[in-house]
Structure 1
Amino acid sequence: MSDKAAPPKIEPVEVSEPLSRAIGERYLTYALSTIMHRALPDARDGLKPVHRRILYAMRELRLSATSAFRKSAKISGDVMGNYHPHGDAAIYDAMARLAQDFNVRYPLVDGQGNFGNIDGDNPAASRYTEARLTAIAETLMEGLAENAVDFRPNYDGTLEEPVVMPAAFPNLLANGSSGIAVGMATNIPPHNLDELIQGCHAMLRNPQITTAELVDLIPGPDFPTGGIMVEPRDVILEAYETGRGSFRTRAKWQVEDLGRGTWQIVVTEIPYQVAKSKLIEKLAELIQTKKIPLLADVRDESAEDIRIVLEPRAKTVEPEVLMGTLFKNSDLETRFSLNMNVLIDGKVPKVCSLKEVLRAFLDHRRDVLRRRSLHRMEKIDHRLEILEGFIITFLNLDRVIDIIRYDADPKSALMRESWGKSHTRATSEKDYRSPPEGEGELTEVQAEAILNMRLRSLRKLEEMELIAERDALTLERAGLVDLLESDRLQWKQIGVELEAVRKQFGKGTRLGDRRTAFADAGVIEDVPFEAMIEREPITVICSKMGWIRAMKGHVDLTAEQKYKDGDGPRFAFHAETTDKILLVAANGRFYTLIGANLPGGRGMGEPVRLMVDLPNDAEIVSLAVFKPGEKLLVASSAGDGFIVPGEEVLAQTRAGKQVLTVRDGVTTAVVTVARGDHVAVVGENRKVLVFPLSELPEMARGKGVRLQKYKDGGLSDAITFTLADGLSWKDPAGRTRHEPDLTEWLGPRAGAGKMAPRGFPRDNKFA
């Protein structure tokens, strides 16, 4: 049997607490973890924990901007194993984004291999790509070895990681950030580094600077994909003052002359975070659905640079009109929402203004400067202490050699020796005498440094060099003392350091020039649909089953047409491709069709229900060409109706517009153009009533008012006419009958009316 004692038995403990408190505490813990350790960036260095750990791990792997590349799998593996205990795929995705120059204004990772592209394609697997730090990323970490920031234990306590980076430039605004936490989110656009540093200089000169003065130096975001910002300055200023707003950005385009009066538009820059492939798919869809009739074709001729070619349908099209329409209907114009929600001091989430974010950065730089200065002073003090020992050694070289050679404990002997004057060297061990007891002049550090000195260094210990180094360090230390005691000198030094970064990465360098331009949005006029379509005559034919087609030209409406088995003619009329066609359903909804979008006349056409959201059980009551300025009389089978302006019934979507309100069992019975001064209605009981048109209200939608009263049945038909001209119809024999005097049927609205005159159509229809 083993001598080891059995482990103590642990009794389970049951804890009872209210469900609301248990869930609340755990959810709060999760929310705080998400906010502070995942989603929101730190205002000081602009990094989230995963990005900070990636950069630090790459630094620990010595992947500087001039070193060789290392496999991305190695980097993501080290980050996961040492600092970030999450999935390697998430870590690699975060690292890959830092290398994408179309996503990050100043890339922090230099990638080699397929790191994705602006089309939206994903990076290659981590085993195929390699990476190292960029030069600007190294400036973010300058001072890590000089106690510039605090360190904390990693997740398992075996290593340490920085709480925040020293950040030599305002990375939060330079590269932007986005993230979604619990109950809050952040979305910060990238900016131009040169302009940001100018803004920092202005704040150093005038701490009370206004946001308006800052916006003069930092006019707006600077996106890595360029584009043109068309947001007014007052809107940008308000967004920077409040920390919330949006920026409207358009693609950059130009007209390319093809000769003989023809031209095409070439798009060379697209808005930020728009995938080029999806943009082209959307443009192709607009062409296919004929929503932008001015556009004939789109081609992607991009190589390393973006080149999207847009062909107009005709050379008479105005380029500005075409682009204005595309800006409204595609991602050639987008809005970037600003939500400057960041962690202040890495602890408190807050929506900050532009000035507050720059102030948080500058305060951080001041803290870094102080800590680096104190660290440098400690190094100088240590070196000065050693230099004093070396100078003493140089002045008393023979005595030092004697002690090291003959004393049993040379370190203690060196510390006990009085070094007030030079000593002569002993010629043998018997000539060596132990130093007298007393207070020594060498410290333990100095004695240790002397003992660790190589023999070959003795001949280099020249007094002038040692004294010169000591004087230089003493002078440097005095400067550091002055720096730590003077706020003015500290801010001046911060300005000098920022200027050095500006010279390296600012205007005139590969990364420094502004990419996003500014322009006035102008007024995009609503182009009439007729102006975007070639005007051609068509004949619209719709069958009883709702199959619709548009034949070219104005064909004879009485000519026989082909229909599917069991189907037949219902509507046929002449129109033009520029016309809007109103379709009225029995459920009271009005739908709008475009003549140019109707299927061609070959074959049987297409079901109209594929073009609009017309229910299967709703019959088509009316199909006619819309004419601006006309008013319509609409009435239900229950005998209720009203006058509606034609512009009010136009629908902008497939879902149509509900105009006539009908209840169960009631349908739309009449839709006719309102002309003249009187209304004639006839019920299923063959009673006719004539009343003034002015008695009907004009409404945009609703049930309407009673037109005629019925004991049984409902409304059969209604028509508007001029009373002085009388009323005409065709009798059952096909002859036209005219009734000039309608006095017998005149009455107030909502009356019962009188029986129709002899010869009135048997179907109770006026026409």
Structure 2
Amino acid sequence: MGQSTLPPDGGDNIQPVDLKSALEERYLAYALSTIMHRALPDVRDGLKPVHRRIIHAMSEMGVRPNSAYKKCARIVGDVMGKFHPHGDQAIYDALVRLSQDFAIRYPIVDGQGNFGNIDGDNAAAMRYTEARMTEVAALLLEGIGEDAVDFRPTYNEEDEEPVVLPGAFPNLLANGSSGIAVGMATNIPPHNVHEICDAALLLIRKPEASIEELVELVPGPDFPTGGTIIEARSSILDAYRTGRGGFRVRAKWEQEDLGRGGYQIVVTEIPYQVQKSRLIEKIAELLIARKLPLLEDVRDESAEDIRIVLVPKSRTVDAKLLMESLFRLTELESRVSLNMNVLSMGKVPKVMSLKDVLSEWLSHRRDVLVRRSRHRLAEIDRRLEILGGYLIAYLNLDEVIRIIREEDEPKAVLISTFTLTDLQAESILNMRLRNLRKLEEFEIRKEFDELSTEKAGIEALLASEEKQWATISWEIGEVKKKFAKATAIGRRRTDFADAPSTDSAAIEQAMIEKEPVTVVVSEKGWIRALKGHLADFSTLQFKEGDNLKVAFHAQTTDKVMIVTTGGKVFTLGADKLPGGRGHGEPLRIMVDMETEQDVLTAFTYDANRKLIISSHLGYGFVVAESELLANTRKGKQILNVAMPDEAKLLVPVQGDHVAIVGENRKMLVFPLAQLPEMARGKGVRLQRYKDGGISDIKTFAIDDGLTWDDSAGRNFIRKKDELTEWLGDRAAAGRTVPKGFPRSGKFSG
């Protein structure tokens, strides 16, 4: 049993193959198949193979825009059996999408029955629904029977299918496309046909037209669901120039007055490819999670049209601010990407600009025109040949009748007697007796002359490039008329606007429920936020060996600033702080604090305040509090200090003078104007010490005098004229503190 039964020379036709090369070869074949025959549309008709096959199968079945509807199951069966050897559900899903007026700007299929909705509900099964073509599909097929495009054998070689459709409708841009292939993807939003036709006509008149000129005519996408594009013009230009970019689209909304100052917001259009039910679920989830404090309720009052009602918390809520917070958190604003990765000439996948796409479509339309003209020319030549034979027969009618009646081989005799061609002789022999009436000769001559004139016209057209482009312009003009902006289907649905310039801080606050909290920071760097404003901080509990460093009242909408002894500032949202249960969390988990540094102080952010920051050795400067904001874990370095020096004091600026006390109990008073205002640095010397460092700083208005409290709570004041001996310039040593100054060396006992 252990012996191998294979012949030693591998005579069973088993060949060893290198796994790497086998996988590469097979995966490349799969990748090419996906790129060419599944995921990417052809730039000429804007269709993927499955859509092309659906349209062609409907055409073969005779399901035209003016014919009766046919069961979708029958259409899908034909597509699957003859052209597309894939699952029936995949084909039906593609057919359904072609009919959805919220998914596709100019539907290609006219569906009857339940074809799904914008809430994301599925269509009814294909046995229940019916479909036929729309005018758009008819335009895409125009001329298919006139040798306008090449055909290739189907997968089983029983039939033939078109390689590409004639495409009189600019489908790629008009309806857009999206697909994910292997290693590449495509995403093209829909556009307005009237605008595309205008741009194409400009390119015919002026082939060297710039992208700027084309974007004047095609300013941006036109989504079936409407909405407002708020992308900058320069960004749109760049997207169309490179074929890659994106468009920010917002829902359309209006304020409905409810009387007595009350109002509600009604959303009437939502961004493209957003499911309405999922959008409302998401808003409701955010509402429950208290992420939308300005919003009271959301209701879906949609029927055929969209109507989403947003109820504000109170009549004082700013509608714009409420909507901005919703745009940030929900799909009421979404980004539609542009990646014009298409099959150029049906063969090469590449990312194309707007101009390239239009140029290739126009080039294809010219090929179709030339091929149709040549086909018609061949038909005319054949008919003229037949008509020439008829005329000879009429001129010699009696002799023709005699030959047909008496000769054994009338065809050969006719050919030799009247020097006819085989086709002419065959046509005369197939002629009906009723066609021998007198009028017929006149009608044949008339048809002969008409066809001769048409032939001359087609020959002139084929000889002149100018005439060809004139004809294409006329054809495009006809499409433009059919889908003009004045028509219901052609009107532009998506408009443009600049994004309103709202205060981002105000929007962020609008997303946080405003509640009072007490922020507590311990000496060992643990932080927590207790609900409500505590009156007595002495009741706070800490871990063993830890004590209170700083505690203060705040709102959840506030920013909390943490300053370390290393001169760094960190910013935390009060709403993001750990709750008051337990001892909170170490700050080092939340921000990147260096191990040898401790918390100096913490406070709530006030954009209008200025502070004096000082190191232990007495170097410092004035800094605007707005400069301290740091939005990352790394924080922001403000005061440059090197060990053993460290940040020691942070004092709010009030008044016009600075009083500074050193650990040597020397005090100096100097004008605030002598301190520079900086965003970062080491600062300047505030007071000179032989040894030791700074103890406390206070800013005050000199006219009001300098005040301090001693440890017993008594208040002292020194007026301007009593401060003369301490008044000096910055960086002086100062004089011993006045009588009654606290032993702690601090201005507040």
- What is the TM-score of this pair, normalised by structure 1? 0.74
- Inter-CA distance 719–347: structure 2 relative to 1 (3 Å threshold): farther
From 546, 559, 566, the equivalent of 1:580 is: 559
Q: For residues 140 and 385 of structure 2, what CA distance do their matches in structure 1 show?
A: 33
* CA deviation profile, 1:267-291 (whole Å, cap 9, x unmatched): 2122222222333334334444444
Aligned twin of 1:592: 572
Q: Please state whether the residue corresponding to 2:297 is helix, strand or coil.
A: strand
Which residue identity does 1:417 align to in structure 2? L
Q: For residues 282 and 514 of structure 2, what CA distance do their matches in structure 1 show?
A: 27
Structure 1 position 87 matched with structure 2 position 87? yes
Q: For residues 520 and 208 of structure 1, what CA distance do their matches in structure 2 show?
A: 30
Q: Please state whether the residue corresponding to 2:119 is helix, strand or coil.
A: coil
Aligned twin of 2:728: none
Aligned twin of 1:248: 248
Structure 1 position 359 matched with structure 2 position 364? no
* Number of aligned residue pairs: 703
8 Å CA contact 1:582–1:591 kept in 2: the answer is: yes
Matches within 5 A, 1:195-210: 195-210=195-210
Aligned twin of 1:11: 13
8 Å CA contact 1:84–1:155 kept in 2: the answer is: yes
Q: For residues 367 and 77 of structure 2, what CA distance do their matches in structure 1 show?
A: 33
Q: In terms of mean alpha carbon deviation, does 513-522 or 165-174 score higher? A: 513-522
Q: In terms of mean alpha carbon deviation, does 154-163 or 327-336 score higher? A: 327-336
From 468, 471, 475, the equivalent of 2:453 is: 475
Structure 1 position 414 matched with structure 2 position 411? yes
Q: Please state whether the residue corresponding to 2:245 is helix, strand or coil.
A: strand
What RMSD over aligned residues (CA atoms) do the two structures have, in Å?
5.5
Alpha-carbon distance, 1:294 to partner = 3.3
Alpha-carbon distance, 1:162 to partner = 0.8
Structure 1 position 443 matched with structure 2 position 426? no
Matches within 5 A, 1:374-413: 374-408=374-408, 410=409, 413=410
Alpha-carbon distance, 1:146 to partner = 0.6
Q: For residues 623 and 98 of structure 2, what CA distance do their matches in structure 1 show?
A: 59
Matches within 5 A, 1:610-689: 625-628=604-607
8 Å CA contact 1:299–1:309 kept in 2: the answer is: yes
Q: For residues 252 and 368 of structure 1, what CA distance do their matches in structure 2 show?
A: 42
Gaps of 5+ in 2: 1-10, 615-619, 639-645, 682-694, 717-730, 732-741
Alpha-carbon distance, 1:627 to partner = 4.0
Alpha-carbon distance, 1:368 to partner = 0.5
Q: In terms of mean alpha carbon deviation, does 184-193 or 445-454 score higher? A: 445-454
Structure 1 position 270 matched with structure 2 position 251? no
Q: For residues 267 and 342 of structure 2, what CA distance do their matches in structure 1 show?
A: 35
- Inter-CA distance 364–148: structure 2 relative to 1 (3 Å threshold): same
8 Å CA contact 2:403–2:414 kept in 1: the answer is: no
- Inter-CA distance 546–201: structure 2 relative to 1 (3 Å threshold): closer
Q: In terms of mean alpha carbon deviation, does 300-309 or 369-378 score higher? A: 300-309
- Inter-CA distance 165–546: structure 2 relative to 1 (3 Å threshold): same
Q: For residues 585 and 303 of structure 2, what CA distance do their matches in structure 1 show?
A: 43
Alpha-carbon distance, 1:461 to partner = 6.5
Q: For residues 71 and 316 of structure 2, what CA distance do their matches in structure 1 show?
A: 55
Alpha-carbon distance, 1:97 to partner = 1.8
- Inter-CA distance 22–526: structure 2 relative to 1 (3 Å threshold): same
8 Å CA contact 1:394–1:461 kept in 2: the answer is: no
* CA deviation profile, 1:623-644 (whole Å, cap 9, x unmatched): 7544446789999xxxxx9999
8 Å CA contact 1:529–1:578 kept in 2: the answer is: no
Structure 1 position 510 matched with structure 2 position 488? yes
- Inter-CA distance 604–231: structure 2 relative to 1 (3 Å threshold): closer
8 Å CA contact 2:291–2:512 kept in 1: the answer is: no
Alpha-carbon distance, 1:195 to partner = 1.5
Matches within 5 A, 1:70-81: 70-81=70-81
Which residue identity does 1:550 align to in structure 2? K
* CA deviation profile, 1:174-221 (whole Å, cap 9, x unmatched): 111222333333222211111111222222222232322222222222
* CA deviation profile, 1:672-695 (whole Å, cap 9, x unmatched): 86899899999xxxxx9x999x9x
Aligned twin of 1:523: 501
Aligned twin of 2:722: none
Alpha-carbon distance, 1:406 to partner = 4.0
Alpha-carbon distance, 1:254 to partner = 1.9
8 Å CA contact 2:120–2:275 kept in 1: the answer is: yes
- Inter-CA distance 658–175: structure 2 relative to 1 (3 Å threshold): same
Q: Please state whether the residue corresponding to 1:338 is helix, strand or coil.
A: strand
Q: Please state whether the residue corresponding to 1:203 is helix, strand or coil.
A: helix
Aligned twin of 2:738: none
* CA deviation profile, 1:322-375 (whole Å, cap 9, x unmatched): 334443443333333322222221122332222221111111111101111111
8 Å CA contact 2:43–2:360 kept in 1: the answer is: yes
Which residue identity does 2:531 align to in structure 1? A
Alpha-carbon distance, 1:60 to partner = 1.8
Matches within 5 A, 1:682-761: none
Q: In terms of mean alpha carbon deviation, does 52-61 or 175-184 score higher? A: 175-184
Q: Please state whether the residue corresponding to 2:213 is helix, strand or coil.
A: helix
Q: For residues 612 and 89 of structure 2, what CA distance do their matches in structure 1 show?
A: 64
8 Å CA contact 1:533–1:577 kept in 2: the answer is: no
Q: For residues 267 and 367 of structure 2, what CA distance do their matches in structure 1 show?
A: 46
- Inter-CA distance 32–589: structure 2 relative to 1 (3 Å threshold): farther
Alpha-carbon distance, 1:486 to partner = 1.2
Alpha-carbon distance, 1:378 to partner = 1.4
Alpha-carbon distance, 1:151 to partner = 0.8
* CA deviation profile, 1:287-334 (whole Å, cap 9, x unmatched): 444444333333222211111222333333443343344434433333
Aligned twin of 2:531: 550
Which residue identity does 2:335 align to in structure 1? R
Q: In terms of mean alpha carbon deviation, does 73-82 or 197-206 score higher? A: 73-82
- What is the TM-score of this pair, normalised by structure 2? 0.75
Q: Please state whether the residue corresponding to 2:504 is helix, strand or coil.
A: coil
Q: For residues 243 and 538 of structure 1, what CA distance do their matches in structure 2 show?
A: 51
8 Å CA contact 1:562–1:604 kept in 2: the answer is: no
Which residue identity does 1:416 align to in structure 2? V
Q: For residues 586 and 132 of structure 2, what CA distance do their matches in structure 1 show?
A: 54
Aligned twin of 1:182: 182
Matches within 5 A, 1:215-294: 215-294=215-294
Q: Give percent identity, aligned residues only.
A: 51
Aligned twin of 2:57: 57
- Inter-CA distance 30–537: structure 2 relative to 1 (3 Å threshold): closer
Gaps of 5+ in 1: 1-8, 419-437, 636-640, 661-667, 683-687, 703-717, 739-747, 749-758
Q: For residues 292 and 652 of structure 1, what CA distance do their matches in structure 2 show?
A: 22
